């Protein structure tokens, strides 16, 4: 485990957040914190924040216009769940590649390499849940600084950013 991953693990374990004591609504096409994150071919709206759940989970609604997705990576400390609302996606978890259509979901356990890609021509939409939340919200804010397009060499360009947030890039994005 890298020094950054070990430091992240200590910080994540030491963090305790107060849970929200009230319910809330986040409108369609809106972000929990009124932020606009354009990331890797789509918009990422936080619907449930780690601040709401005592750090136990966060949920993003992603609306994707460009085909493709992130590099093959693993989370050292989080499980990730994908639920397709519109469009078609492929998700690789370990050695398995899964085709997902609206209503389908896939689970990526922590420590297992995974990646996804939007493969349909039309707009895609997918909910992505992280448990525990870790620093995923900060990761996405920093990732948005790279711009809305998918970096062509993301497995190299984003390696440090992933490591700083308890993840490891282990291969290129999925081919479709």
Ranges of each domain in the chain: 3-9+33-170
List CB contacts of 52: < 8 A, sequence separation 6 or more. 19, 20, 24, 32
Residue 41 · residue 99 · CB < 8 Å: no
Which is the CATH superfamily of the domain at 3-9+33-170?
A: Jelly Rolls (2.60.120.10)
Does pTM surpass 0.75?
yes
For residue 109, count other CB atoms closer than 10 A to its CB.
14
Find residue 37's DSSP bridge partners.
44
Per-residue confidence of the chain (176 residues) as pLDDT tens digits?
A: 555 554 455 445 445 567 878 899 999 999 999 999 999 889 999 999 999 999 999 999 999 999 999 999 999 999 999 999 999 999 999 999 999 999 999 999 999 999 999 999 999 999 999 999 999 999 999 999 988 877 778 878 889 999 999 999 999 999 98
């Amino acid at each position: 485990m890298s020094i950054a991953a070990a430091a992240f693990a200590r910080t994540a374990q030491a963090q305790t957040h107060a849970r929200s004591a009230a319910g809330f609504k986040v409108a369609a096409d809106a972000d929990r914190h009124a932020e606009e994150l354009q990331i890797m071919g789509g918009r990422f709206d936080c619907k449930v924040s780690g601040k709401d759940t005592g750090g136990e989970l966060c949920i993003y609604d992603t609306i994707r216009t460009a085909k493709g997705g992130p590099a093959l990576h693993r989370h050292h400390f989080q499980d990730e769940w994908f639920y397709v609302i519109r469009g078609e996606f492929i998700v690789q978890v370990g050695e398995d590649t899964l085709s997902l259509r609206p209503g389908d979901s896939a689970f990526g356990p922590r420590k297992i390499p995974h990646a996804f890609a939007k493969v349909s021509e039309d707009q895609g939409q997918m909910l992505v849940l992280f448990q525990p939340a870790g620093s995923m919200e900060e990761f996405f804010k920093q990732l948005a600084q790279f711009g809305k397009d998918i970096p062509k060499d993301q497995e190299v360009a984003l390696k440090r950013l992933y490591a700083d947030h308890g993840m490891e890039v282990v291969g290129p994005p999925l081919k479709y």
